[in-house]
A and B are shown apart, each in its own frame.
Chain A
Amino acid sequence: ETGVTQSPTHLIKTRGQQVTLRCSSQSGHNTVSWYQQALGQGPQFIFQYYREEENGRGNFPPRFSGLQFPNYSSELNVNALELDDSALYLCASSKTGRLDNEQFFGPGTRLTVL
């Protein structure tokens, strides 16, 4: 177990709805990264949060947004859900500043958009 937790584990939404996913980072880690993993694909980087600010973003539209809280936990918000948003959403916590940065993944939230 990595100590990274995510909630909920599964979620079903309909097109146009909004969703919030949550992640608690591992003790001692101050950075949280979010990834989207579609079926049969590798995880794709959405964005990273460090000290409560976005610190890098992948190729995702603005309807994907996030927050990081003072305790380093994080939320991923997706507005105006589309069918293609159906995926496993993974968060990973890490200590920033290390070149050999190991990221520890949570179990993921499986989102289905109908």
Chain B
Amino acid sequence: RKEVEQDPGPFNVPEGATVAFNCTYSNSASQSFFWYRQDCRKEPKLLMSVYSSGNEDGRFTAQLNRASQYISLLIRDSKLSDSATYLCVVNLAEADKLIFGTGTRLQVFP
């Protein structure tokens, strides 16, 4: 079983749509959780951290369910510029190393 699993997509949605990505992780000792965004042929960049209480940053909402070992990302009012791959990432407590999922590709069309 992969340490971090994501639906690879692609998700093709029209502008203005709401889209949700899910991710599961296998290591219950995982301490920190993130969503990174990666544009085509570019480096990953932190989109947002994910907190136990859930958190929101503008059109983006992240949720964490530790009991189910599940993380989600909700994007409201999708923009063309949201087209990218979204990587679910967990940080293991014993070392500052990030475990990445395969990524979910989002394509927003006009």
Are A and B physically bound partners? yes
A90 x B32 contact (CB < 8 A) = no
Given contacts A42-B87, A100-B49, contact A90 B44 (CB under 8 A): yes
Cβ of B96 and Cβ of A42 under 8 Å apart?
Answer: no
Q: Does A68 contact B (CB under 8 A)?
A: no
The secondary structure that dominates the B interface is strand
| Interface status of B98 (Cβ within 8 A of chain A) | yes
Do A48 and B46 touch across chains, with their CB atoms under 8 A apart? Answer: no
B23-50 interface code vs A (CB 8 A; 1 in, 0 out): 0000000011010000000111110010
The residue among B34, B43, B45, B102 with the most chain A CB atoms within 10 A of its own CB is B43
B44 touches A105 (CB 8 A): yes
Given the interface pairs A90-B44, A105-B45, the reply to whether A45 lies near B97 with Cβ below 8 Å is yes
Q: Is the interface of A mostly helix, strand, loop or mixed?
A: loop
> Cβ of B43 and Cβ of A105 under 8 Å apart?
yes
Show 25 residue pairs from A and B whose CB-CB distance is below 8 angstroms, ordered by the A residue.
Answer: A2-B43, A33-B97, A35-B100, A40-B102, A41-B103, A42-B100, A42-B101, A43-B44, A43-B98, A43-B100, A45-B97, A45-B100, A50-B96, A56-B97, A90-B44, A99-B32, A99-B91, A101-B32, A101-B91, A103-B46, A103-B96, A103-B98, A105-B45, A107-B42, A108-B43
